Amino acid sequence: MDNFTFYSPTYFDFGRGAESHVAELVHRFGGTKVLFHYGGGSIKKSGLYDRVADCLKKEGIAFVELGGVKPNPRSGLVQEGIQLCKSEKVDFILAVGGGSVIDSAKAIAAGSVYDGNFLDFYRGKAVIEKALPVGTVLTIAAAGSEGSGNTVITDEETQIKKGAKSDWLRPKFSILNPELTCTLPAYQTAAGATDIMIHVCERYFSNTEEVEITDRLCEGILKTIIYETPRVIENPENYDARANIMWAGMLAHNNVCGVGREQDWASHHIEHELSALYDVTHGAGLAVIAPLWMRHVMKTNPNKFITFATRVWDIDLNENNPEETALKGIEAFEKFLKNIGMPSSFAELGAKQEDIPLLTDKLMSGRETEGNYVKLTRQDIIEIYESAVR
């Protein structure tokens, strides 16, 4: 196990009705004037918007609002949010929604106390050294942004989707009520489950040895998602299954599964080019890319895939042919993704073969390799994208 530091200061309020504590939590973490940030309308339809607004009003917390965050959140709305925070002297950002709303809120939080263009943080030109405090009310188990210090934004000028990272962005509190996720369409539920699994896999597929504790945490989360996802797809109102998935989504990405080891992240970076160019749902893009990444890198480094197959997918080890065992694990994963309704090809995502050179150029701009479990060259990336053309 490698040396590490771990800082995860978020206060979690989990369970039925937890959103009724939102005003109290804003108060506790110092908010007096709030930006209430949300997405495209699901929270108005479900009544969550009214409940949160009423709660803030009752507690006497002033707020301004900014809705309209789109999946794969854009830089333009972030700029608008920053202007609003500056002109209204906002001191707390409340994100009510999914990963896109939370990521947009984090970008606004950092940009509001920075003199330059907030995109500097995403272009690697500046480091986040402070931010307004952020609180969240989560409505989808997927991105894990409710417990992470990460944010991913699409730069509308360049159509490049990039992440920024800082402990300053870790939410002060996150409210996780599994009931709020019952209104999710099956496709979004499945895409979220896929994203959670790949957050684990990006950490699990590592060359660092002797990380039994984090390996076992990873396997526990993967097995939970494999068990619970078909149950919520069959019965969207299954509270306990929703609850297990929601907490798994947080654990998958606050880095408790990643500490002390080298991490990979190639599947995410390869996918982000697809969501930037075609606006595909992030989890659906991962459902196409991650198994192809697995098939590609397994040829060079099968070790961890054998463990993945036997421990996660309960495949019997064929000692005479461990690579066959490894392949069966990947096949089991592919079958699972298909059963929960996820795509497996470029065509299903609306992605085009002729764009592969562009996707690859954007991804590999300024570097020689991608990922760590196996260091991928430009040619490897092309082959992974090509294998999705079906």
* Site residues for Zn ion per CB under 5 A: 195
Q: Which is nearer to ligand NZQ, 100 or 244 (CB)?
A: 100
Q: At its nearest, how many Å lie between ligand NZQ and the CB of residue 323?
A: 29
DSSP character at residue 149: S
Q: At its nearest, how many Å lie between Zn ion and the CB of residue 73?
A: 14
**Alpha carbon 230 to chain centroid, angstroms:** 20
Q: Which is nearer to ligand NZQ, 112 or 255 (CB)?
A: 255
Q: Which is nearer to ligand NZQ, 180 or 326 (CB)?
A: 180
Among residues 218, 226, 224, which one has the least CA distance to residue 202? Answer: 218
Cα separation, 85 vs 105, in Å, equals: 11
Q: At its nearest, how many Å lie between ligand NZQ and the CB of residue 363?
A: 14
Q: Nearest residue to Zn ion, using CB?
A: 195
User: By the 8 A CB rule, do 37 and 95 touch?
Assistant: yes
User: By the 8 A CB rule, do 287 and 281 touch?
Assistant: no
User: By the 8 A CB rule, do 34 and 93 touch?
Assistant: yes
Cα separation, 145 vs 173, in Å, equals: 12
Q: At its nearest, how many Å lie between Zn ion and the CB of residue 192?
A: 9
DSSP string, 198-215: HHHHHHHS-S----HHHH
Q: At its nearest, how many Å lie between Zn ion and the CB of residue 4?
A: 21
**Alpha carbon 328 to chain centroid, angstroms:** 27
Q: At its nearest, how many Å lie between ligand NZQ and the CB of residue 374?
A: 20
**Residue 157 in tokens:** 């000028």
- Site residues for ligand NZQ per CB under 6 A: 39-43, 71-73, 97-101, 103, 139-140, 142-145, 148, 150-152, 180-181, 183-184, 188, 192, 195, 253, 268, 275, 282-283
Binding partner at 131 among ligand NZQ, Zn ion, none, C-beta below 5 to 8 Å by kind: none
One-letter identity of residue 160 = I
Q: At its nearest, how many Å lie between ligand NZQ and the CB of residue 74?
A: 10
Cα separation, 117 vs 131, in Å, equals: 14
Cα separation, 175 vs 184, in Å, equals: 17
Q: Which is nearer to Zn ion, 112 or 145 (CB)?
A: 145
Count of residues making up the chain: 390
Binding partner at 258 among ligand NZQ, Zn ion, none, C-beta below 5 to 8 Å by kind: none
Which residues are CB-neighbours of 292 under 8 A, at least 6 positions away? 384, 387, 388
Q: Nearest residue to ligand NZQ, using CB?
A: 98
Q: At its nearest, how many Å lie between ligand NZQ and the CB of residue 182?
A: 7
Q: Which is nearer to ligand NZQ, 148 or 224 (CB)?
A: 148
Binding partner at 273 among ligand NZQ, Zn ion, none, C-beta below 5 to 8 Å by kind: none
Phi, psi of 274 (to 5 degrees): -70, -45
Q: Which is nearer to Zn ion, 146 or 195 (CB)?
A: 195
Q: Which is nearer to ligand NZQ, 224 or 325 (CB)?
A: 224
Q: Which is nearer to Zn ion, 161 or 328 (CB)?
A: 161
Give the pairing of strands 150-155 and 160-165: antiparallel
Binding partner at 170 among Zn ion, ligand NZQ, none, C-beta below 5 to 8 Å by kind: none
**Residue 238 in tokens:** 């299954």
